[in-house]
C-alpha cells in the first residue's frame, strides 16, 4: 500500500502540467503544497512569480528559489494550486487544517482556476468528518462560540495557535454541512468571524487525486 505522502507527491507532480509559462500563480499552504513547491522548483518551469497563502509557504518558495509577488501585483490570477482536508463530489472542500484558510480563500477567489491536489483519503461522500476551521478575532471568541452552538456545532479553540493574521481558530465539529453554501454564509454572518474553511463559493475547478491505482482528474462545474 502506498503512503499518503507518495499519493500527495503523485498529485503534486501531475499538477505541474497546469502551471502556465511566464504567469503569476497562487500557491496555497500545507504539506501537499510543500511537495508541489519542491517539484515546481525542480521542474525549472518559467513562472513569473507566486502569491503565497501563508508565511510558511512564502518561506518555502523563497528557499526553493521561486519569486514571490503580492496579490496586488498578480491580480487576477489564472491558476491557484492548493490542497484540502476534505473534498466532495461537487468540488466543495473543507480547508484550514493548517490555519491558513483566510488567505487561501482570498487567493482562490482571485483566481480563474483552482487546482486542488489531494491524496485519495481526502475524497468524501459527505463533508464534516474533519473539523471545520473558523478564523475569529480573539475578543469575539465567546460570542462566536455561542452562535456556533445555536447552529448545532461544537467549537474548540485551537491551542497555542495564532494565524498569520494574528487571530485565533475555532475548530467546529458536529455541524450538518449538507447545505454547504448556506452554512458558509451563515457562519460568515456572525460578528467577529474573519472567514471559515468551507469552500463552496470558491470550490475547486479541478481535483487531482493521488490514488493507489494512479492519478485521477476530476473537473467540476463553476458555481
Ligand atoms: C491549510 C489547508 C491545507 O490545504 C489542508 O490542511 C491540507 O493540508 P495537507 O496538504 O498538509 O494535507 O487548508 O490551511
Distance CA 65, CA 139 (A): 39
Residue 136 domain-assigned (yes or no): yes
Mean pLDDT of all residues belonging to the chain: 97
Do 92 and 22 belong to one domain? yes
Task: Confirm whether 104 is a catalytic residue.
Answer: yes
Using the predicted structure, report yes or no on whether residue 222 has a pLDDT greater than 80. Answer: no
Residue nearest to atom 1 of ligand 1 (CA): 98
Mean pLDDT of 1-7: 95
Stretch 154-179: mean pLDDT = 98
Q: What is the arithmetic mean of pLDDT over 87-97?
A: 98
64 part of a folded domain: yes
Nearest CA to ligand 1 atom 5: 84
Same domain, 174 and 212: no
pLDDT band at 73 (very low <50, low <70, confident <90, very high): very high
Q: Are 117 and 141 part of one and the same domain?
A: no
pLDDT at 221: 84
Whether 47 and 157 map to the same domain: the answer is no
Active-site residue among 39, 86, 104, 147? 104
Band (pLDDT 50/70/90 cuts) for residue 39 is very high
Residue 171 and residue 65 in one domain = no
Same domain, 12 and 75: yes
Work out whether strand 24-27 and strand 49-52 pair parallel, antiparallel, or are unpaired: parallel
Given ligand 1 and candidates 80, 95, 164, which is best to mutate, with the most ligand atoms within 8 Å of its CB?
95
Residue showing cell 491536489 = 117
CA of 217 to the centre of ligand 1 (A): 19
Statement: residue 202 has pLDDT above 90: yes
48 domain-assigned:
yes
Residue pair 71/106 in contact (Cβ under 8 Å)? The answer is: yes
211, 12, 28, 25: which is closest to 120 by C-alpha? 211
pTM of the model: 0.97
CA of 118 to the centre of ligand 1 (A): 9
Q: Which atom of ligand 1 is nearest to the CA of 100?
A: 14
The mean pLDDT of 2-13, rounded to a whole number, is 97
**Cα 104 to averaged position of ligand 1 atoms, centre (Å):** 10
When divided into structural domains, the chain yields a total of: 2
- Same domain? For 114 and 215 the reply is yes
Q: pLDDT tens, 95-146?
A: 999 999 999 999 999 999 999 999 999 999 999 999 999 999 999 999 999 9
- The rounded percent of the chain whose pLDDT value lies above 70 is 100
Per-residue pLDDT at 183: 98
List pocket residues of ligand 1, CB cut-off 6 Å.
28-32, 82-85, 95-101, 104
CB half-sphere exposure, 51, CA atoms < 13 A: 25
Q: How far is the CA of 113 from the centre of ligand 1 (A)?
A: 18
3-state secondary structure 148-217: HHHCCCEEEECCCCCCCCCCEEEEEECCCCCCHHHHHHHHHCCCCEEEECEECCCCCCEEEEEECCEEEE
On whether residue 127 sits in a domain, the answer given is no
Domain that holds residue 52: 4-121+201-219
Amino acid at each position: 500500500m502506498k503512503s499518503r505522502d507518495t499519493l500527495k507527491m503523485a498529485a503534486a507532480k501531475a499538477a505541474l502540467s497546469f502551471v502556465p509559462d511566464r504567469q503569476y500563480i497562487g500557491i496555497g499552504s500545507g504539506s501537499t503544497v510543500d511537495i508541489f513547491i519542491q517539484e515546481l522548483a525542480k521542474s525549472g518551469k518559467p513562472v513569473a512569480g507566486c502569491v503565497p497563502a501563508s508565511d510558511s509557504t512564502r518561506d518555502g518558495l523563497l528557499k526553493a528559489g521561486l519569486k514571490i509577488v503580492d496579490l496586488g501585483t498578480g491580480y487576477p490570477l489564472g491558476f491557484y494550486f492548493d490542497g484540502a482536508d476534505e473534498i466532495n463530489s461537487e468540488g466543495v472542500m473543507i480547508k484550514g487544517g493548517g490555519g491558513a484558510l483566510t488567505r487561501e480563500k482570498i487567493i482562490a477567489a482571485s483566481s480563474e482556476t483552482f487546482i486542488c491536489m489531494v491524496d485519495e483519503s481526502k475524497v468524501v461522500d459527505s463533508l464534516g468528518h474533519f473539523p471545520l476551521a473558523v478564523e475569529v478575532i480573539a475578543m469575539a471568541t465567546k460570542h462566536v462560540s455561542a452562535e456556533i452552538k445555536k447552529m448545532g456545532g461544537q467549537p474548540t479553540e485551537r491551542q497555542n495557535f495564532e494565524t498569520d493574521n494574528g487571530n485565533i481558530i475555532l475548530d467546529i465539529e458536529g455541524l450538518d454541512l449538507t447545505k454547504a453554501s448556506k452554512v458558509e454564509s451563515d457562519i460568515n454572518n456572525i460578528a467577529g468571524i474573519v472567514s471559515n474553511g468551507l469552500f463552496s463559493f470558491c470550490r475547486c475547478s479541478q481535483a487531482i487525486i493521488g490514488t493507489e491505482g494512479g492519478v485521477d482528474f476530476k473537473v467540476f462545474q463553476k458555481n
